[in-house]
Amino acid sequence: MRPAAVGFHCPEEGRPAGGRIAPPEREPRTTLGGRAQLARQGLVTQILIGLCVVAYILQGAPGLAGGDNSNRFTDDFAMIGFRIAADDQYYRLLTAAFLHAGVLHILFNMYALYLLGFQLEAILGRARYLGLFVAGAVGGNTLSYLLGGLSTASVGASTAIFAFFAAYYVIARRLRVDSRQILVVLGINLLITFSFSNIDKWGHLGGLAAGVIVGLIYAYVPPRRAWAQAGGVVGLIALLFVAAAVKSSTLV
């Protein structure tokens, strides 16, 4: 007997004429490979937001109740070029995306992560979506390090969020849906990026470039070739770490 929504069913009931058991139905998926039944859960997005909030608290909640912008936790995980070059702390290329410099900084980024993240996770599925986040974070911080060198210093999830902007646009074009709204949002964010001197411009542009590449992989490599998609994204992330290592060799 097999458990069912109401009571139990006999396996014989599922057999068509002739005695053969009908093959199980395939789990429905989105156009780009996400699992339809998990589409609205946004589990990875919620975890990413939770990690950013926890990290913000461990930073001493900078900007809240007079908190400083830096403490030991921030110093250990922020994007600091000197520490990468001198101590090979390449994990900072990713961990910096979970840190923030103030209340408005984290509120703005978490709001953007919530809006874009839930939609992208629903379309791509959890694994592809997480790959996009990591590639965007590492891509943005790597470009910042390549151009800023030892003086590079930044925090924030905006590197990954700019990758979301780019991937969202590429995917929207691939699916032939209206992409004008995301272009307006991206334009506003680029205007903000170049209007304030304390924003890591190269980090945003690096995340944007990584998002374009990953978006193209997801949009034009068929979902049934998940191994090729994964290889492309992992290869991009590995190439970024290699580029950062090469940069370090020129600085020390």
195 Cβ contact list (under 8 Å, min separation 6): none
Spatial distance between the Cα atoms of 168 and 157, rounded to a whole number of angstroms:
16
pLDDT tens for each residue of 55-90: 999 999 998 866 566 789 999 999 999 999 999 999
Spatial distance between the Cα atoms of 94 and 79, rounded to a whole number of angstroms:
8
Spatial distance between the Cα atoms of 159 and 142, rounded to a whole number of angstroms:
10
Residue 118's alpha-carbon distances to 63, 111, 141, 214, 240, in angstroms, are: 28, 11, 23, 17, 26
pLDDT tens for each residue of 122-157: 999 999 999 999 999 999 999 999 999 999 999 999
Give the CATH superfamily of 35-251.
Rhomboid-like (1.20.1540.10)
Percent of the chain with pLDDT over 70: 82
Give residue limits of the domains in the chain.
35-251
Spatial distance between the Cα atoms of 159 and 180, rounded to a whole number of angstroms:
22
